[in-house]
Chain A
Amino acid sequence: MLGRTLQEVSAALKQGQITPVELCQKCLSLIKKTKFLNAYITISEEVALKQAEESEKRYKKGHSLGALDGIPVAVKDNFSTSGIETTCASNMLKGYVPPYNATVVQRLLDQGAVLMGKTNLDEFAMGSGSTDGVFGPVKNPWSYSKQYREKRKQKPHGENEDSNWLITGGSSGGSAAAVSAFTCFAALGSDTGGSTRNPAAHCGIVGFKPSYGLVSRHGLIPLVNSMDVPGILTRCVDDAATVLGVLAGHDPKDSTTIQDPGKPFMLSSLTDVSKLCIGIPKEYLVPELSSEVRSFWSKAANLFESEGAKVIEVSLPHTSYSIVCYHVLCTSEVASNMARFDGLEYGHRCDIDVSTEAMYAATRREGFNDVVRGRILAGNFFLLKENYANYFIKAQKVRRLIANDFVNVFNSGVDVLLTPTTLSEAVPYLEFIKEDNRTRSAQDDIFTQAVNMAGLPAVSVPVALSNQGLPVGLQFIGRAFCDQQLLTVAKWFEKQVQFPVIQLQELMDDCSSVFEIEKLASVSLKQ
């Protein structure tokens, strides 16, 4: 039952094949069994069971609230949840219990969703590995998959198997691992430079970043306000659309959400792609791109072409400036957004009380990790009066050029762009931490981050397994507010590639129920 998609399990609930409480308990038990993944920071067991009971009552009365009623979901620990600790994986917010729900959380709950817990991340979502939070790194469920283990057996290994686990990518690695390991059916992430799509690609699931302004940020503890978007992680594209339908729309509490009344996001099944024009941005073919990912990318392009779509090479000439531009804008907003964490109103406060200033300094030193403090320092430097014009203003202008690149391409008739999501499949933790957070973020965000500059919708769809038996994802980028069209194309693609289900039975030997509907799908994009 747990291996099903959201839509499938929703149907099962409706038909009475399983009750919400049973479903919730199954998920809770799996969460406990997979605790070593470190996907969750807080497991909200009591709340979840209570919500499941409420849902069960509704089903019994025949008054279910819709597709999400009784569905276990998880939420990244940088969304405010009323009465449930919200830490951002930082000492600064350890013990902080928000008095209100983020709008997206509220909308999920209003639809009857059952909140299993809060998922792990890089501290304040600053990172691309989910390795830099105070609660420790998240382990990629694929590290323990039959597919990966079998491939590894073929190669000689001197190292200890267990120390060689893989990262999930980040910063929404906890949410990605939670969905990937079947502990919930959908999870919220946040996406500022790729933080939803990157771990989705590494964990073999769908990671969707909606258009900026389509989904409310109210209650999302910000990284970069002008780029943050709540992200959706699910096991298939249809599920992402279902969740988007619940989340999307104007929120009076977020002035940057669009006014247009939201329409339900029901995806039609595309049967004919011949009218589509797919753009392949040539600047995304970088030397660092692994040959395997490049090969999947070109096979995907060929697939579209062979099905009649027009596939053309396009240019996004300012792409190479994106990372450095992002660095300036991101750190500047971080410096500003983090100013509120002073130990006065909430969160961590040091013991020093000789003066208010000394208290601020010690509180912030103790509360933030090096990554956060480094970004605050850099951001404040860029915002200084003497530097503002040279850095911030220039970065804003470059941002405009990057956004215009996309506008130009879409105006030329391209419907959707097809790109890699990541440079390669997930790497082992020990390898990942050889580079510092900044270098990693700069490398890993390369395909995802320009999209946030332009506010466009983008989705990472798992394509196939690499030689190592690890998932590879490709990214589709759509026109602003054409999220539905984007997901429709992604759904068609998903159907063509038949990405295999993760096989975790070796590890969770008594979780056989998880795999009762396991399909031994064929991989149509085999190398």
Chain B
Amino acid sequence: MAAPMLRGRCLGRCWALACIDSGSRHGRGAATGFTSSGKRGQSFVAQQPLLTAQKSRKGEHKWAAVVGLEIHAQIASNSKLFSGSQVHFAAPPNSLVSFFDASLPGTLPVLNRRCVEAAVMTGLALNCHINKKSLFDRKHYFYADLPAGYQITQQRLPIAVNGSLAYSVCVGKKWRQVITKTVRIKQIQLEQDSGKSLHDELRSQTLIDLNRAGVGLLEVVLEPDMSCGEEAATAVRELQLILQALGTSQANMAEGQLRVDANISVHHPGEPLGVRTEVKNLNSARFLARAIDYEIQRQINELENGCEILNETRSFDYKLGCTVPMRDKEGKQDYRFMPEPNLPPLLLYDTASLPAGADPQQVINIDRIREQLPELPSETREKLIQQYGILPEHSFALLNEVGLLEFFQNVIKETRAEPKKVTSWVLNIFLGFLKQRNLAVNESPVTPSVLAELLNLLDRKVISSAAAKQVFEELWRSKGKTPSQIVSERKLELMQDEEALERVCHAVMEGHPQVVMDMKRGNPRAINKLIGLVRKVTHNRADPTVIKEILEKQLSS
């Protein structure tokens, strides 16, 4: 595996420049416990200018950062992993707690089939090997929001292993170049979520909400194949889109359905990996990137100042923008792992190994789940590029907003306008309006059919592009009106009467002899001024190309 290098000569954003440097590849030791078996996937070198701005002494102190991620995704299921309690975000505290969730003595775990299917589907989508036999273990630690004193997880034999996640970064000056990178997935394991502790410092009390306790999680372990915050954030974003496409997790970071811990170390290329720190609970993509970049820089600074990196757990203070050591010594705990005796091994089947006469309610067929795999984001983007000829970065933009792709496709269905035109309208004007008003796609007052009608008017040259924008603004304000209604009410149709337009042109020329003079002297910009004047008089209702033709004709006559 090649470890990305950090150099001093780069400018701009972390992933704005792509310098693929095969010379920087080197073997990686297993010094800090990262596994590094197999050379799969591609590795690219990303530049990390933030870290190296002060490293201008040439050839000295080249640092490489190594970033691995542990991602916890809450499984989208009606009930919890091992109990029948409902799963809802923001329900009243302790309203979704079964006897098992509260760890009442004598209660036993019963595995939720839906959660297993979600894990298998996610594993397949991430190119994992699905283990037909996996095991559950107990991980022990005392914490107020962990009622049983242990978490049921899959430490020894997880449900899926050895996968990969491809993610793309846009590079180049205009970000027109898309580079695909791959991060290896070590494993996906099923485990329980914990409850929530709410610390009331004032009254020195801790309040416990067990609604989340026992919700199914997919822990996705990404190998340390990333080299900076932006790469990590992009990989997480791609994983998020995949989970959402699969429906296996809502993966909403703000609601805690996707939580990231980052393992970070720095080293000199060619030397063993450095001591790593773990930055926990990164709950937004933006802070994820910032925390990782901060931590890389901090480690470099520490090492350059002759200090040592401690193998510790840190948290990111988003107000201060820095990582700080966590008070509890979680990192040093011995979790005393033990097999979970109340759950038999989890056995999965494929069509070939399915026992004859097996009750379909009792068995899970991997092949059946594979057939149900929906289109993945990468395939969707590829299709968009192929089908509509749009730019790769636009394909990313269309998938980045919940519901935007569907909106776009519905517009396309109903309009004769060029896909490129539709893309431009959806991504620039429509999305711009949403962002300005902080609205989601499904909250838009403008429906796809309305936008399609508007684009049809534009396409048929019934209105000008400027008028179309006017109509769009009007649509936003007055819900229920159709574009055609607005056009006719506001008299925004392009002037079809050429004689009338000729008269307007003539009048404008008469009124501005100086401009006409300039034009005759050969100033090419003068004609644009006249066109603008004519458009003003016609309230944008005249087609500029037609105006230009008329003006030129009148001048030469």
**Do A and B come from the same complex?**
yes
Bound complex: CA A384 to CA B335 (Å): 8
Q: Does A221 interact with chain B (Cβ within 8 Å)?
A: yes
Enumerate chain B residues within 8 angstroms of A383, measured Cβ to Cβ.
140, 336-338
Of the stretches A152-160, A336-344, A477-485, the one at the interface is: A336-344
Interface 1/0s, chain B 242-260, versus A by CB < 8 A? 0000000000000000000
CB–CB A80/B105 < 8 A: yes
CB < 8 Å neighbour of B342 from A256, A344, A356: A256
Q: Does B341 interact with chain A (Cβ within 8 Å)?
A: yes
Enumerate chain A residues within 8 angstroms of B522, measured Cβ to Cβ.
none
Q: Does A25 interact with chain B (Cβ within 8 Å)?
A: no
CB–CB A255/B108 < 8 A: yes
CB nearest neighbor in B for A99: B99
CB nearest neighbor in A for B359: A259
Q: Does A335 interact with chain B (Cβ within 8 Å)?
A: yes
Residue among A224, A339, A384 with most chain B CB within 10 A: A339
Q: Does A357 interact with chain B (Cβ within 8 Å)?
A: yes
Q: How far is the CB of B419 from chain A (nearest CB, A)?
A: 53
CB–CB A336/B344 < 8 A: no
Bound complex: CA A98 to CA B111 (Å): 23
Enumerate chain A residues within 8 angstroms of B109, measured Cβ to Cβ.
255
CB–CB B102/A345 < 8 A: yes
Enumerate chain A residues within 8 angstroms of B105, measured Cβ to Cβ.
80, 88, 93, 96, 98, 221-222, 340-341, 346
Q: How far is the CB of A459 from chain B (nearest CB, A)?
A: 24
Enumerate chain B residues within 8 angstroms of A80, measured Cβ to Cβ.
104-106
Q: Does B428 interact with chain A (Cβ within 8 Å)?
A: no
Enumerate chain B residues within 8 angstroms of A224, measured Cβ to Cβ.
341
CB < 8 Å neighbour of B147 from A93, A100, A255, A345: A345
CB–CB A217/B108 < 8 A: yes
| Given the contacts A99-B104, A340-B105, A346-B104, A335 and B336 also touching, CB distance less than 8 Å | yes
Enumerate chain A residues within 8 angstroms of B99, measured Cβ to Cβ.
99-100
Q: Which of A121-150 contact B (CB under 8 A)?
A: none
Bound complex: CA A363 to CA B208 (Å): 18
Q: Does B148 interact with chain A (Cβ within 8 Å)?
A: yes
Bound complex: CA A384 to CA B336 (Å): 5
Q: Does A219 interact with chain B (Cβ within 8 Å)?
A: yes
CB–CB B341/A226 < 8 A: yes
Q: How far is the CB of A343 from chain B (nearest CB, A)?
A: 10
Q: Chain B interface: which size bin?
A: 20 to 34
Enumerate chain B residues within 8 angstroms of A253, measured Cβ to Cβ.
108, 110
Q: How far is the CB of B341 from chain A (nearest CB, A)?
A: 4
Interface 1/0s, chain A 366-391, versus B by CB < 8 A? 00000000000000100111001000
CB–CB A225/B149 < 8 A: no
CB nearest neighbor in B for A252: B110
CB < 8 Å neighbour of B149 from A93, A226, A342: A342
Q: Which of A303-338 contact B (CB under 8 A)?
A: 332-333, 335-336, 338
CB nearest neighbor in B for A124: B105
Residue among A79, A98, A252 with most chain B CB within 10 A: A98
CB–CB A333/B337 < 8 A: no
Q: Does A14 interact with chain B (Cβ within 8 Å)?
A: no
| Given the contacts A383-B338, A384-B334, A388-B337, A339 and B150 also touching, CB distance less than 8 Å | yes
Residue among B99, B107, B111, B208 with most chain A CB within 10 A: B107
CB < 8 Å neighbour of B142 from A254, A333, A357, A384: A357
CB–CB A340/B103 < 8 A: yes
Q: How far is the CB of A240 from chain B (nearest CB, A)?
A: 23
Q: Which of B132-171 contact A (CB under 8 A)?
A: 138, 140, 142, 144, 147-150
Q: How far is the CB of B16 from chain A (nearest CB, A)?
A: 44
CB nearest neighbor in A for B342: A225
Enumerate chain B residues within 8 angstroms of A259, measured Cβ to Cβ.
362
CB nearest neighbor in A for B210: A345
Report the tally of A-B residue pairs with Cβ distances under 8 A: 97
Q: How far is the CB of A251 from chain B (nearest CB, A)?
A: 9
CB–CB B104/A255 < 8 A: no
Enumerate chain B residues within 8 angstroms of A384, measured Cβ to Cβ.
334, 336
CB–CB B104/A100 < 8 A: yes
Bound complex: CA A225 to CA B338 (Å): 12
Q: Does B206 interact with chain A (Cβ within 8 Å)?
A: yes
Q: Does A220 interact with chain B (Cβ within 8 Å)?
A: yes
CB < 8 Å neighbour of B106 from A219, A338, A385: A219
CB–CB B208/A336 < 8 A: no
Bound complex: CA A252 to CA B206 (Å): 35
CB–CB B106/A221 < 8 A: yes
Enumerate chain B residues within 8 angstroms of A88, measured Cβ to Cβ.
105
Enumerate chain B residues within 8 angstroms of A218, measured Cβ to Cβ.
106-108
Interface 1/0s, chain A 78-95, versus B by CB < 8 A? 011000000010000100
Bound complex: CA A256 to CA B344 (Å): 7
Enumerate chain A residues within 8 angstroms of B102, measured Cβ to Cβ.
345-346
CB nearest neighbor in A for B147: A345
Q: Which of B324-351 contact A (CB under 8 A)?
A: 334, 336-338, 341-344
Q: Does A360 interact with chain B (Cβ within 8 Å)?
A: yes
Bound complex: CA A341 to CA B342 (Å): 18
Q: Which of A279-324 contact B (CB under 8 A)?
A: none
Q: Does A392 interact with chain B (Cβ within 8 Å)?
A: yes
Enumerate chain A residues within 8 angstroms of B144, measured Cβ to Cβ.
344, 356
CB < 8 Å neighbour of A356 from B147, B206, B337, B344: B206
Q: Does A102 interact with chain B (Cβ within 8 Å)?
A: yes
CB nearest neighbor in A for B336: A383
Q: How far is the CB of A99 from chain B (nearest CB, A)?
A: 7
Enumerate chain A residues within 8 angstroms of B362, measured Cβ to Cβ.
259
CB–CB A339/B106 < 8 A: no
Bound complex: CA A102 to CA B106 (Å): 8
CB–CB A255/B150 < 8 A: no
Q: Which of B452-472 contact A (CB under 8 A)?
A: none
| Given the contacts A255-B343, A339-B148, A340-B148, A345 and B103 also touching, CB distance less than 8 Å | yes
Query: B residues engaging A (CB < 8 A)?
Result: 99, 102-111, 138, 140, 142, 144, 147-150, 206, 208, 334, 336-338, 341-344, 362
Q: What are the 3 tightest A-B residue pairs by CB atom distance, in nearest-first order? A: A339-B149, A383-B336, A225-B341
16 contacts between A and B (CB under 8 A): A98-B106, A225-B342, A226-B341, A254-B108, A255-B110, A259-B362, A336-B150, A336-B338, A338-B149, A339-B140, A339-B150, A340-B149, A344-B144, A356-B206, A383-B140, A388-B337
Seed contacts A342-B149, A388-B337; 5 additional CB < 8 Å A-B pairs: A88-B105, A98-B106, A335-B336, A340-B103, A346-B104
